[in-house]
């Protein structure tokens, strides 16, 4: 069985990937001249924050 710290590291890596995707969505919206945050970016950011929170909780286990 994997250690919780390894799982936390995986969650953090996934959070970084989601951040990259969110930035790509923002860039695309900017290039198209859109204003405001696209819904897709908002959802990606919310998912990223959830993963970061879960990773933080796991790291508190010791």
Helix (H, G, I), strand (E, B) or coil at 14: helix
In the chain, % helix, strand, coil (3-state, to 5) comes to 80, 0, 20
The span from the CA of 35 to the CA of 26, in Å, is 10
Predicted TM-score of the model (pTM): 0.90
For residues 19 and 52, what is the distance between their CA atoms, to the nearest angstrom?
11
pLDDT by residue for the chain (62 residues), tens only, comes to 999 999 999 999 999 999 999 999 999 999 999 999 999 999 999 999 999 999 999 999 97
Q: How many CB atoms lie within 10 A of CB 46?
A: 12
Structure tokens at 38: 């696209």
């Amino acid at each position: 069985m994997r250690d919780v710290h390894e799982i936390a590291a995986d969650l953090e890596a996934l959070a970084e990937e989601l951040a990259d995707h969110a930035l790509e969505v923002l860039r695309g919206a900017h290039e198209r001249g859109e204003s405001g945050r696209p819904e897709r970016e908002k959802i990606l950011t919310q998912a990223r924050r959830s993963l970061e929170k879960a990773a933080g909780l796991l790291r508190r286990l010791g």
